[in-house]
Amino acid sequence: MNAMPDPVKAQAAKAPPLLEVKNLSVRFSSPAGEVRAVEDVSFNIGRGESVGIVGESGSGKTVTCMSMMWLLPSPPARYPTGTIRFKGKELDRHREREMQKVRGSGIGMVFQNSRLSFNPGYRIGSQVNETLRVHLGKEWKKELPRVIEMLRYCNISEPERVLRSYPHEVSGGVAQRVSIALALLIKPELLIADEPTTALDLLSQLEVLRLLERVRKETSCSLVLVSHDLAVVRRVADRVIIMYAGRVVEEGPTADIFADPKHPYTQGLLASTAQKEEGERLYELPGHPPDLAALPQGCSFRPRCVHAFAKCLTMPELLPAGPERVARCHLLDAGREAAHHG
Amino acid sequence: MISYTLKRIAMAVPTLVGVSLVTFLLLRLVPGGPVQAVLGVASTNPAAVAAVTKEMGLDRPLYEQYFIWLGKALSGDFGMSTQFRVPVAALILPKLQNTLILTTGSLVYAVVLGILIGVVTAIYHRSLLDRALMLVTLVGASAPVFWVGLLLIYLFAIKLNWLPAMGMSSIAGNSGPFGVLRYLILPAFANSIIAMAVIARIVRSSMLEVLTQPYVLAARARGLSRYRQVVVHAFRNVLPDAINITGLQVGFLFGGALFVEVVFAWPGVGYLMYSTIQSRDYVTLQAAILLVSAVFVLVNLIADVARMALDPREARA
Amino acid sequence: MTTMLPAVATEGMRSEERIPLSAFQQGRAAFLADRMAVAGLAILVLAVLASIFAPWLTSYDPNIGDTDAYLVPPFSPGHIFGTDNQGRDILARILYGGQLVFPEAVIPVVVASILGMALGLIGGFFRGVFGEIVMRTLDVLFAIPMVLLAIAIAATLGSGPPTVIVSMAVVITPYVARVVATTTAQLRNAPFVDAARCAGFSRWKILRREILPHVIPAVVVYGTTNMGAMIVFAAGFGFLGLGAQPPTADWGAMIAGGMKSLASAPWISTVPGIVIVIVAVAFNYVGDGLRVALDPRLRTRR
């Protein structure tokens, strides 16, 4: 690591981060009991930073990123604890009008299946215009040339034709790039992309990934990329947050985490996606993610963990695991103690 | 779109032929046969019987009888009413107009209130308001229309004396078209309740499904207001379901009109049918069923085409 | 991971630890868990028993009035629901009327269920030219407003409870047939039916083992849910004078009979209507409960 004082980082330390998530918990009711979808999650997103959130289905990553702009209707979602600060100002989820201003213009969002995130009953162009109208008021027509420009920027070759089309008439890849263009059009300071490549074919995946990389390099917009695919995150994110059963289990700079994962779950994830070599069997994590309505005692990963020991019956805290790194595992504590004694 | 409309019209033709067959056969069910039906129950005059037999072709095979009857019906000749001794066509057409006024009024109530209740209960899903409104629609849908009609008369005409209880002022009369509206308020509402409840339930469940669709969440994420999310984005995709169920309800509105017309003495086809039941005027009954069914087939055709026009996936195909 | 909310709420739930119950036990448990369905069933059982045992429950004759007790208002001693304009006890007429209304509603539904199932299977499972004819004929019957057709048939055949039953059965049959035809048409291409076909099962065996177990519950639920509407429908015949002839007690005819004295004695029409609404609503809740109890998918979704 570079020990020289970085002027950008020094400034970032003084100013509040772009987005602060603090002690966020999200719950749903189900017949089987209370589902703890997200449990006491805290993290920051810096200005211009690109953060990846990784986890399996049910790890709470989608619920977390939707809660970053209080998107989930409540009920059914319940928020026992949690504050979100955007540019130092707390977002009040009960103030619908204020949230409407932040949504779209401050924080933009791209969903997993963009064809489904456009209303099938209206042409794409009219949905783009609607968004412009809502955020720019009477001035919106002046921005129309910029729409075409932005679509071209997002590699849409025939923007006029796409705008005239209904969502079902364009491919998933085109729809995804249009929705990225639409999100960028209002110049948000943070773009959240929830599994933006998962529903796409390989070629479209690459195109969308290239576009996200380009956005990261060429704009000042911060990026949150949610994915279960480590390869995707590795390509785009500066920093990675690993989630398991609704909690953050590890967090740190992308390169460091991929080089030396600290949490047994991260280790398992990396091993299962590692390049398969001749004759070597692909590693697979044993077991299933836990039932969020009936979490195991102590560490949620304990039933699947090969290193589990007696102490794991209590929930571990997030412990320091290197420069700018934390992980939620008793092994770190035990390791530190062992190192101390040795 | 145009090809769908033409195809849909072509599909309505065999249906209408089938409807005419059923109504044709209805007269053959009359105890004593069609001759008695046409002459009226009491007549036994052999000369009259022979004349009718010849005119209707009753000495010929059944299919020829059908074509003779159909040919006359298509030229507007539905026979003579045995009760009123006038041509059925002249008797029935003004009544049909009155029934259409009543059912249109009911349709307006059912669509406006049904959609309103459906949307509101979906938005406030599982709230006290939702439960209360759903119970009210269930009770309303379970109540006989004629009983609801009597309750409305008792409350608004007898107790409060706000509205007229019976009849229908003529459009041509001195009260003008707004006079008709005053007479229409109660019977149209009574007749609309079941259709309203059905529309409310379909709109509610369709709306609940649409509200969980990704595009509504995406609209919210783009910073659109709750009103735009619900009315512009969600309701747009509920509309085809709403139109479909409304088209189907029209048949029940015609059925309900029979009872409502009896209760409110509304001079429509239903009231006419009620009097044919007592006077055994089968010829008039047959024509009434045929004409009302034809209107119903037409309404469903319009509803289908409208629904198709609202679905961009179909409309551009 | 999807963006749809219910998926977020329910995913990760497992029922490995639960002891498996038989389908019947699960269905019964689901029905009993629905309080409204249980309450509805209790009301219906009480209502049917009360009309069967009417002679033991009331000492009044339903058809012969008491000349000293014309138009007695409800809640009077001896006449809890009052008397009508011929001095007949309304409670007695309601109880005896049930002996007529319940069969008038239930028999057509049972007959239509059997007929409709046969026609629906011909149209949806066996198909062929005959099936096509059946489906087209049903289409025609849908084009005639159901209530008007039934009234016209009844008016043509002449009044009385048997007429009511026949005409109701005729007009409900197409609706049952459509439910059966759409259910079987969906099942016809289901993977488990393909599997049975590949295993060399005969058409009859597939019908009996793979199709009917899905069709029968659908018909039962359809019949029960619509039974409330059928009570109202049967009362409609009575109201128009097409049902039992006076002085026989009939709920619909009782409402019609009270029309003339609506201003002075509103209870004559009101009381039978309330009874009809209660019975119809009860049938609705029982139907909803049965739907959940008989459909495993709905059971877990709740």
Three-state SS at C4:
coil
Inter-chain contact B214–C4, Cβ cutoff 8 Å? yes
What is the distance in angstroms between the Cα of A252 and the nearest Cα belonging to chain B? 28
Interface test with B, best of A70, A97, A117, A123 (most B CBs within 10 A): A117
- CB-nearest partner of A111 from B218, B226, B236: B218
ipTM for this model = 0.87
Half-sphere exposure of A228 (CA within 13 A, CB side): 13
A1 in a domain, yes or no?
no
Count, residues in chain A: 342
Inter-chain contact C259–B258, Cβ cutoff 8 Å? no
Query: Is some CB atom of chain B closer than 8 A to the CB atom of C255?
Result: yes
What is the distance in angstroms between the Cα of B248 and the nearest Cα belonging to chain C? 9
Can the peptide bond before residue C217 be classed as cis, meaning omega within 30 degrees of 0? no
CB A329 within 8 A of CB A248: no
What is the distance in angstroms between the Cα of B172 and the nearest Cα belonging to chain C? 29
Inter-chain contact A73–C5, Cβ cutoff 8 Å? yes
Tens of pLDDT, residues C36-57: 999 999 999 999 999 999 899 8
Interface test with B, best of C101, C148, C277 (most B CBs within 10 A): C148
A5 in a domain, yes or no?
no
Instruction: Find the Cα–Cα–Cα–Cα dihedral A154, A160, A163, A165, rounded to 10°.
Output: -120
B contact chains, 3+ CB pairs < 8 A: A, C
* Model confidence at C13: pLDDT above 50: no
Inter-chain contact C280–B143, Cβ cutoff 8 Å? yes
pLDDT at residue C119, as a whole number: 92
What is the Cα–Cα distance from A195 to A184, expressed in whole angstroms?
Answer: 17
CATH assignment, C28-57+103-301: 1.10.3720.10
Query: Is some CB atom of chain B closer than 8 A to the CB atom of A138?
Result: no
Inter-chain contact C157–B29, Cβ cutoff 8 Å? yes
Burial A128-138 (b: 16+ CB within 10 A, else e): bbbbbbbbeee
Query: Is some CB atom of chain B closer than 8 A to the CB atom of C284?
Result: yes
What is the Cα–Cα distance from A170 to B304, expressed in whole angstroms?
Answer: 27
Residues 283-312 of A with CB under 8 A from B: none
* Domain positions in chain B: 101-280+295-316
Residues 117-136 of A with CB under 8 A from B: 117-123, 130-131, 134-135
Q: Which residues have a Cβ under 8 Å from the Cβ of B106 and sit 6 or more positions away?
A: B188, B189, B191, B192, B195, B253, B256, B257
- CB-nearest partner of C12 from A31, A61, A292: A292
Query: Is some CB atom of chain A closer than 8 A to the CB atom of C137?
Result: no
Q: What is the pLDDT along chain B (317 residues), one digit of tens a residue?
A: 788 889 889 989 989 999 999 999 988 888 777 877 777 766 667 888 888 888 777 788 888 889 988 999 899 888 888 888 889 999 999 999 999 999 999 999 999 999 999 999 998 888 899 999 999 999 998 999 999 999 999 999 888 878 777 776 644 455 666 777 888 889 999 999 999 999 999 999 999 999 888 899 899 888 888 888 888 899 999 998 898 899 888 888 999 999 999 999 999 999 999 998 888 888 899 999 999 999 999 998 998 888 888 877 765 54
Inter-chain contact A104–B226, Cβ cutoff 8 Å? no
What is the distance in angstroms between the Cα of B184 and the nearest Cα belonging to chain A? 36
Host domain of residue A109: 16-275+284-341
Topology given in CATH for the domain delimited by B101-280+295-316: MetI-like fold (1.10.3720)
Inter-chain contact A289–C12, Cβ cutoff 8 Å? yes
What is the Cα–Cα distance from B316 to A120, expressed in whole angstroms?
Answer: 13
* Model confidence at A90: pLDDT above 90: no
Q: Name the strand (E) or helix (H) holding A16.
A: none
Question: Residue by residue, what is the 3-state secondary structure of A38-73?
Answer: EEEEEEEECCCCEEEEECCCCCCHHHHHHHCCCCCC
- CB-nearest partner of B236 from A103, A121, A179: A121
Residues 16-75 of C with CB under 8 A from B: none
Parallel, antiparallel or unpaired: strands A50-54 and A239-244:
parallel
What is the Cα–Cα distance from C88 to A303, expressed in whole angstroms?
Answer: 76
Grade residue A334 by pLDDT with cuts at 50, 70 and 90.
low
What is the Cα–Cα distance from B214 to B220, expressed in whole angstroms?
Answer: 10
Inter-chain contact A121–B217, Cβ cutoff 8 Å? no
Q: In total, how many domains does chain A have?
A: 1
Tens of pLDDT, residues C103-146: 999 999 999 999 999 999 988 888 888 888 888 888 888 888 99
Inter-chain contact C147–B258, Cβ cutoff 8 Å? yes
Other C-beta atoms closer than 10 Å to the C-beta of C241 total: 18
Q: Which CA distances in Å does B296 have to B243, B274, C236?
A: 14, 20, 21
CB A116 within 8 A of CB B215: yes
Grade residue A14 by pLDDT with cuts at 50, 70 and 90.
low
Chain A residues within 8 A of C3 when measuring between CB atoms:
62, 66, 111-113, 116-117, 194
- Mean of all residue pLDDT scores within chain C: 85
Chain C residues within 8 A of B16 when measuring between CB atoms:
143
* DSSP code per residue over A216-277: HHHS--EEEEEES-HHHHHHH-SEEEEEETTEEEEEEEHHHHHHS--SHHHHHHHHHHSPPP
Query: Is some CB atom of chain A closer than 8 A to the CB atom of B212?
Result: no
CA B272 to chain centroid, in Å, comes to 16
Mean of the pLDDT values across residues A280-285?
Answer: 67
Half-sphere exposure of C31 (CA within 13 A, CB side): 19
What is the Cα–Cα distance from A322 to A197, expressed in whole angstroms?
Answer: 31
Q: Which CA distances in Å does B188 have to A97, A122, A293, C199, C233?
A: 41, 35, 51, 58, 19
What CATH number is given to the structural domain containing A57? 3.40.50.300
Inter-chain contact C1–A112, Cβ cutoff 8 Å? yes
**Helices (H), strands (E): how many in chain C?**
14, 0
A contact chains, 3+ CB pairs < 8 A: B, C
What is the Cα–Cα distance from B98 to B102, expressed in whole angstroms?
Answer: 6
Inter-chain contact C12–A76, Cβ cutoff 8 Å? no
Count, residues in chain B: 317
What is the Cα–Cα distance from C105 to C226, expressed in whole angstroms?
Answer: 10
Tens of pLDDT, residues A220-261: 889 999 988 888 888 889 999 999 988 999 999 999 999 888
